Amino acid sequence: MNIPTYQLALQSMSDHHIEAPSPLKPDSSAGPAPEHRAFKSLSSRDFRIYLFSATAAMMADNIEHVISYWVIFQKFQSPALGGFAVISHWVPHLLLAGFSGVLADRFDIRRLIQVGMFMLFAVSVCWGAMFLSDSVALWKAMLLLVVHGLAGVIWLPASQVLIHQIVDAEQLPSAVRLSATGRYLGFLVGPAVGGALLLALGPSYGIFVNALIYVPLFAWMVSAPYGRAAAGWRPPPRAINGFADVWSTMKVIARDRVLLSMTVLIGAASFFVGNAYQAQMPGFARDLGHGRVDFSYSLLLAADAAGGLAGGLLLESRALLQPRARTAFILAMIWCAALIGFAQANLYAVAISLLFVAGFVELAFNSMAQALVQMNAPSDIRGRVIGVFSMSAMGMRTFSGLSVGILGASVGIHNSLALSAAALFLLIAVLFAARQLRAA
């Protein structure tokens, strides 16, 4: 990859909005777009290794959620604890993602990823030991949920920076979309595998097996030719300045129309809804008449992810919905409508169908926002920009645990999800209208 040229291209984009021509974004006035080649980033051997091992890690993450959420739901029967599961998972991103982005700019990103993988491995082992000894306690569950969230904030921003070292500028949009699709594949396969492990091995041995799935990514990072060892890689000359680095990055984002609009859009989606309804899925399954550990419950868990997987594969193979801010806003509103319908659905088949639609459009607008941010981020502070975007995209999910989980304890999870999605729809509509008026 020609790193200096790529960095100059990204730097030149930082002061332009999405409608401006650039080497990384097609513009209708610049002549016909180059012929699309499906799954372009998979031509890189190292990206294939990264994609498959990272997807496996995301699958293990979701297997752990299925097993641990099921056990603590059965033991405590508490929507509030489900809300805490969401809060504890995402509050580290809110508080620390900006700082972990700074670390990704300065240190060997391979080691950051390995630290995250080891923590996730250890959490699964601890869950298994607790289940095996029948020593499930509220404080232990809460502690493991917090450690799990800390592991995510350490490895996820570093993994996004790693993509830029593996692929070239032309392959980047494909790599970002396939990475997002891999995450949804983990969401899809994880619940199915988690349900199978619950049935075949029980929660104790099932989660021990899950711990082993984190090993491949950890092992590849030992000698992967990236991070500090990458050709031409040098740490920034200045020292880490704590919150000052995060604040200066926020000001860079605020001056760029694309970075700002996508960071605000994803932050709002995370604030109001995020993925909080997944922690409440045992309750939705029970109300729909499928509250046992069986295939029907696993299918309900997997429907949202199946839509995301289908969306990623279709959009990547057909070159549909190219990255545009306007399109991302519209897709986010469709996502809200699908979740409102799911929350009020009384029929299992209708709920499955709406979750599939929600997953499809969520993959589309999330991956689109990620691609726009990564393509517009100045190269010398890319890790910091990704860290702040992660703080918005994941950290703001902390509050969805309140809106969907804690509020659900008072008004019911169906009403809390519907109200949260409706509030988000209205906010996005206002932001979209304001953006269109400004562009007119």
User: For 86-106, what is each residue's pLDDT tens digit?
Assistant: 778 778 888 887 777 778 777
Query: Per residue in 300-325, is it b (16+ CB within 10 Å) or e — as a string?
Result: bbbbbbbbbbbbbbebbeeeebebbb
Q: Which of 333, 351, 332, 331 is nearest to 341 (CA)?
A: 351
Confidence band of 392 (pLDDT split at 50, 70, 90)? confident
Residue range 33-46, pLDDT digits in tens: 445 566 778 888 89
Per-residue model confidence (pLDDT) at position 227: 64
Task: Give the chain's domains with CATH numbers.
Answer: 44-226+251-439 (1.20.1250.20)
Q: How much is the average pLDDT of 65-73?
A: 82
Per-residue model confidence (pLDDT) at position 302: 74
**Per-residue DSSP letter, 237:** S
Query: Is 228's pLDDT higher than 70?
Result: no
Per-residue model confidence (pLDDT) at position 113: 92
User: By percentage, how much of the chain surpasses pLDDT 70?
Assistant: 81
Per-residue model confidence (pLDDT) at position 17: 37
**By three-state DSSP, how is residue 50 classified?**
helix
Per-residue model confidence (pLDDT) at position 294: 55
Instruction: Region of 39 please: left (phi>0), alpha (psi -120 to 50) or beta.
Output: left
Residue range 247-258, pLDDT digits in tens: 888 888 888 888
Q: What is the pTM of this model?
A: 0.70
How far is the C-alpha of 106 from the C-alpha of 113, rounded, in Å?
A: 14
Residue range 6-39, pLDDT digits in tens: 333 334 333 333 333 333 343 333 334 445 566 7
